[in-house]
Amino acid sequence: MKKLLTTACLFVVTIVAPVSFNVSTVLGQQNFSQTKAIRFGKLVDGSGKVLTNAIVVVEGDRIKSVSTSESSIPANVQVVDLSRYTGIPGLIDVHMHLAGTHGGTGSGRVPNQVLSRSPVIDMFLSQGAARKMLDIGITTVRDVGAYQFTDLAMRDLINMGAIVGPRMFVSGPGLRTSSALGVAVPEATADGPVEVTRVVRRLIAAGVDNIKVFGSIGPVPDMGCPTASFTQSAAFTYDELKAAVDTAHSLGKKIAVHSYGPDGARDAVRAGADSIEHGLDMDDATLAEMARRGTFYVPTIYNNVYSAERGSCKEMRIGWHSRTVETVKRALKAGVKFAMGSDGNAPTWMIGENTRELGWFVKVGMTPEQALATATTNAAALLGKEKELGKIAPGYFADLVAVEGDPLKDIDVVINNVRWVMKGGAVVFPALEPYRELKEKRSDTYELDEDEMNDVGYKLLRMKKVNEAIEIFKLTAFPKSYSVYDSLGEAYMVNGDKELAIKNYQKSVELNPQNTNGIEMLKKLQAK
Ligand SMILES: [Zn+2]
């Protein structure tokens, strides 16, 4: 800490002091950390409106106002100028395994197989994937399957600020029948409507946000690389699916059904599922019924392409891909609603490539605007969060993404040109670039220690990225570290935020009464 502080003090005096004068006089004090105004050259708000020279005012974690009027900017707030970019709502991936499922990798033929490693290891290793989601503009994820409820833990850790990642809505382990091979998941295995009802209730009591059902699971990879139809592989009966749907809905939860082949999907849709996942080979009658009911289709198109390029069963994957594309085209014609799901599986599988699904949506016939809706308004509706997520409007979560280019002309802009991301009012990208850089250099470890984080924060301060430095120090301040509170105090001081500077120095001295630097700084600040 001493070495770092010496460096820091030096540059505060020599470099940042003149800047801090400007910052403090322009920005004032109290509202600084709470309210922000963000300028976008263009704003695609998710409700069909496109604004030019838009101003989005964010208060805490929510959007306060959206307008084109300069007078909407409150006095004394930080103004973030993104007028070079187009603002879009934070993206939502509705089919992910962000807590990982690789612990379950093994021979699918062995019944009651035990996990090959603890799912907690997967979840721990998936922290980088969680960060990566934010980098590509995904601020919300629906997790549709993890072992031993690690997805619930990850959701809670993200909400606590202990892991940096997207907002998660999770399902725990998906419901399955006893005929499902592979890893034993007794807590989510059910046969017959009575057991299905019991298990759905248990999962909801355990704290899941939505229910996932492995409806008709398709061929097991270990059985070779089949190219035949999946008609025979419907796992749950109609009555079982109906029990699952009715129980989930009666307890206010949405339900996603994983389905391969026409029969399983037909039963799931008739039973009232909210979404069909994968769903290749669905017949026209089922698609018409989905359009009528408003059932969402989450085809995970890109997943088979990604798998074909990397996994075994290349021929099979290519076959599935063309059948998925064919089904999706018919679904589009039938007027079925879509939501974007990647089937990305942390820590590494398809991580960072999730939004390529949007490119496939355009390739199969959607307009860029329709494709964007699959990851914003449609996805939010599938989560039952259409009043809080998926749009840039007053009262909604301040989940904003700045892209370079026009996403309504070219969807690749959303896939490749993400320049800035805010989740719940906090800038999450590119705020932590030096953090990532350091992490890459130190790929042998997964977490940096306090001093390294402190160093990263000071690097940002030196780059005059004061707000981002503050974000880093805030991150590092978990759970309790006197030196980081000291740094945070300094960053706020540089920023002209005297009150917060005092608060953080006080916290630091409280944690370590021997912190002479903190005591000195407090004296100076309080004397002013
Ligand atoms: Zn999946």
Read off the CATH number of the domain in which 190 is found: 3.20.20.140
Q: Residues, the chain, total? A: 528
Considering the domain architecture, whether residues 42 and 136 belong to the same structural domain is answered as: no
How many whole angstroms from 343 Cα to the centroid of ligand 1? 5
User: Has residue 66 been placed in a domain?
Assistant: yes
Q: What is the pLDDT of residue 473?
A: 75
User: Has residue 434 been placed in a domain?
Assistant: no
Determine the Cα–Cα distance for residues 155 and 279; give it in Å rounded to an integer. 27
User: Has residue 130 been placed in a domain?
Assistant: yes
Q: Side by side, which strands form the sheet with 138-143?
A: 167-170, 138-143, 91-97, 344-345
CATH number at residue 461: 1.25.40.10
Q: What is the pLDDT of residue 20?
A: 30
How many whole angstroms from 217 Cα to the centroid of ligand 1? 11
Q: What is the pLDDT of residue 492?
A: 87
How many whole angstroms from 145 Cα to the centroid of ligand 1? 7
How many whole angstroms from 144 Cα to the centroid of ligand 1? 6
Considering the domain architecture, whether residues 159 and 234 belong to the same structural domain is answered as: yes
Considering the domain architecture, whether residues 141 and 232 belong to the same structural domain is answered as: yes
Determine the Cα–Cα distance for residues 36 and 351; give it in Å rounded to an integer. 31
Considering the domain architecture, whether residues 305 and 258 belong to the same structural domain is answered as: yes
How many whole angstroms from 468 Cα to the centroid of ligand 1? 35
Q: Side by side, which strands form the sheet with 254-259?
A: 210-216, 254-259, 275-278, 296-298, 337-338
What is the DSSP secondary structure assignment for residue 367, as one 8-state letter?
A: -
CATH number at residue 71: 2.30.40.10
Determine the Cα–Cα distance for residues 396 and 124; give it in Å rounded to an integer. 30
How many whole angstroms from 88 Cα to the centroid of ligand 1? 26
List of long-range contacts for 199-204, beta carbons under 8 Å, 24+ apart? 199/175, 200/175, 200/243, 200/244, 200/247, 200/248, 200/251, 201/247, 201/251, 203/171, 203/172, 203/175, 204/248, 204/251, 204/253
Considering the domain architecture, whether residues 85 and 103 belong to the same structural domain is answered as: no
Considering the domain architecture, whether residues 98 and 235 belong to the same structural domain is answered as: yes
How many whole angstroms from 143 Cα to the centroid of ligand 1? 8
How many whole angstroms from 429 Cα to the centroid of ligand 1? 27
472 token code pair: 């880093």
Considering the domain architecture, whether residues 167 and 80 belong to the same structural domain is answered as: no
The ipTM assigned to this model is 0.95
One DSSP character per residue, 192-211 reads HHHHHHHHHHHHHHHT-SEE
User: Has residue 389 been placed in a domain?
Assistant: no
User: Has residue 435 been placed in a domain?
Assistant: no
Q: What is the pLDDT of residue 18?
A: 30
Considering the domain architecture, whether residues 134 and 278 belong to the same structural domain is answered as: yes
How many domains are contained in the chain?
3
How many whole angstroms from 58 Cα to the centroid of ligand 1? 34
Considering the domain architecture, whether residues 236 and 337 belong to the same structural domain is answered as: yes
User: Has residue 439 been placed in a domain?
Assistant: no
Determine the Cα–Cα distance for residues 278 and 296; give it in Å rounded to an integer. 11
Residue 100: which domain range?
91-383
Question: 32 — phi, psi (to 5°)?
Answer: -55, -50
Return the closest-CA partner of residue 307 out of 349, 338, 257.
349
User: Has residue 150 been placed in a domain?
Assistant: yes
Considering the domain architecture, whether residues 107 and 21 belong to the same structural domain is answered as: no
User: Has residue 238 been placed in a domain?
Assistant: yes
Considering the domain architecture, whether residues 351 and 295 belong to the same structural domain is answered as: yes
Mean pLDDT, the chain cut into blocks of 10 residues (528 residues total):
34 30 30 77 96 97 96 90 96 97 66 81 95 96 96 97 95 89 85 98 98 80 56 75 98 96 93 96 97 98 93 84 96 98 94 98 98 98 98 98 97 96 92 56 54 75 75 64 83 85 90 90 87
Residue 257 near residue 277, CB atoms below 8 Å: yes
Considering the domain architecture, whether residues 333 and 421 belong to the same structural domain is answered as: no
How many whole angstroms from 218 Cα to the centroid of ligand 1? 12
